[in-house]
Amino acid sequence: MDNSNQFVLADHKQATIDLTNEIKNKLDYLQSLGRAVQAQDDRLVYQLIDSEKYSTEILKARHSSYDKSNERLVEDAYGLVSEYLSSNLIEFLRERYPFFYFEETETGKFQFYFGNWWGRRLFGTLDVLNVKFNFDENEYQKLVRSFEFEAENKRLNTDTIERLSQENDELQELLDSQSNREAEKERMRKKLKQLNQEKVMPWDAGKQREMKQRLTDELSRIAEIDEKAANGYQRIHENEKRVLELSKEDTLLGYEKQSIIAKFGSFENFKEKNAALYRDYITDLIATGNRRN
C-alpha cells in the first residue's frame, strides 16, 4: 500500500532512544538528589535544586544557559526539601542571629520574631531554599529609620511623643481653666445686658454697637475654647494611649538596635551579612562538612 501522500512522521526508533535518554537523565538527577539527601550533604542539595544560583554565588561563574527542567521535578516537593534543609540552616542562623526566634507555621514554612522581649515583633519569613530573610517591609523600615534617627540622638517616636504630650498639657490647662472662663462669660453677659438696657444718645449709638459686637465676638471665642475643652478628657485619654504605644515601639526598637550592634557592630554590617547569607551559609557547610556530619 502506497502512502506517499502521508506526512513523514517521527522515526519511532529514534524517539525511543531519545525518551530513554531523557528518562535516564531525570533518573540520574533524582538519584543524585536522593544520594545527597541520604548522605546528608546539604551543600549538594542546594547545588542540585538551583544550579544557577549556586554557580553564580559560589562558583562566581555564569553559564550561558541552565537546564532547569530537572530542577522543576522537585518543585512540588519544595515543602519537604525546605523542611529537610531547615534544621541545619536554622542551627546556623541561631548562632549568627541569636535574636531571631524561628517558628514553623506549616511544613517547610518558617516565620521569625525579633527578640524574646515583651511585645516582640513578627519580623518576617525565612526562605530556606534561597537562604534568605524576607523581612516584613513595614517593620524593617521602622528599624532602618530608627537607626537614622540615632544619628540625631533621637528615637523614632521622640518628636511625636513630645507633640502629644504637649497637646495634653495644653488640654489639661484648658480643663483646669474652665471655671475662669465661666466667670469671664458671666461678666461679659452682664455687661452685654447692661449695654442693651442703656439708653444712648444717637451720636453714641455707633460706639455702643461696636462695643456689643466686641463682647459677642469674645463670647463666641470662649465658646469655641469650651468646646475644645469639652472633648479634652477624651482626647487626653487617646493621646495617652498613643504615647504608650509609641513608647513601647521605641523600647522595642531600642532592644532591636542593641541586639544588632552587639552582634554585628553596625547596621551596615548587618545588611551586608544579610545580603551575603547564601554564600556564607554554603561556605559554612563546606567548612564544617555539612555541620552535623
Partner 1 sequence: MMSEYENPTITFYPHESEFDVNPEEQKPALSTNERLMNYNGRLKESLNNGIRFTEVFDTLINTTDLNELFQSIKTLASYQLDDDYLVYPIQYSRADFYLIFINRLLSLNDKETVILMSSEKDRALYHEFPGINACGRFKFKVDSADEQRAFYIDERTGLSLFYIDFSDKVLYFNSRDIVELLIANDAENDKEDLIRFEKYLVSIGECVEQAYGYEVDFNLLNARRNAVYPIVSETEPEVALDRLFIMGSEAGCMLKSGMNGEAIMNLSDSVVLTLFDENLAGGNSPKWVITVKDDEDKISFFDLLVRYDFFKDWYLENLQSVEIRRARCFWKEDDGEA
Residues forming the site for partner 1 (CB under 8 A): 116-120, 244-245, 247-248, 251, 254-255
Q: Name the minimum Å distance from CB 160 to partner 1.
A: 15
| Of residues 221 and 237, the one with the C-beta less far from partner 1 | 237
Cell numbers 544560583 correspond to what residue? 53
| Cell reading at 10 | 517521527
Q: What residues contact residue 53 under an 8 Å CB cut-off, 6+ apart?
A: 130, 278
Measure the N-to-C terminal CA separation of the chain; round to a whole number of Å. 68
Q: What's the rounded Cα separation, in Å, for the pair 195 and 214?
A: 12
> Considering beta carbons, is residue 53 or 120 the nearer one to partner 1?
120
C-alpha 233/C-alpha 170 separation (Å) is 12
HSE value, Cβ hemisphere, 13 Å, CA-based, for 39 = 13
| Residue that has been written with the C-alpha cell 461679659 in this structure | 188
Least distance from C-beta 291 to partner 1, angstroms?
Answer: 26
Length of the chain: 293
CB of 211 to partner 1, least distance (A): 51
Question: Shortest distance, CB of residue 146 to partner 1, whole angstroms?
Answer: 14
Nearest approach, Cβ of residue 276 and partner 1 (Å): 30
Q: Which is nearer to partner 1, 135 or 254 (CB)?
A: 254
Rounded distance, CA 210 to CA 206, Å?
Answer: 6
| Strand partners of residue 104 | 110
In terms of CB distance, is 212 or 254 closer to partner 1? 254
Nearer to partner 1, 165 or 293 (CB): 165
Distance, CA of 83 to CA of 32 (rounded, Å): 19
CB 258, min distance to partner 1, A: 10
Looking at the Cβ atoms of 54 and 114, the one nearer to partner 1 is 114
- Residue 48 Cβ, how far from partner 1 at the closest point, in Å? 37
Q: How buried is residue 40: exposed, middle or buried, by Cβ count under 10 Å (0-12/13-18/19+)?
A: middle
The residue (of 244 and 275) whose beta carbon lies closer to partner 1 is 244
Q: Using CA atoms, how far apart are residues 62 and 147, in angstroms rounded to an integer?
A: 36
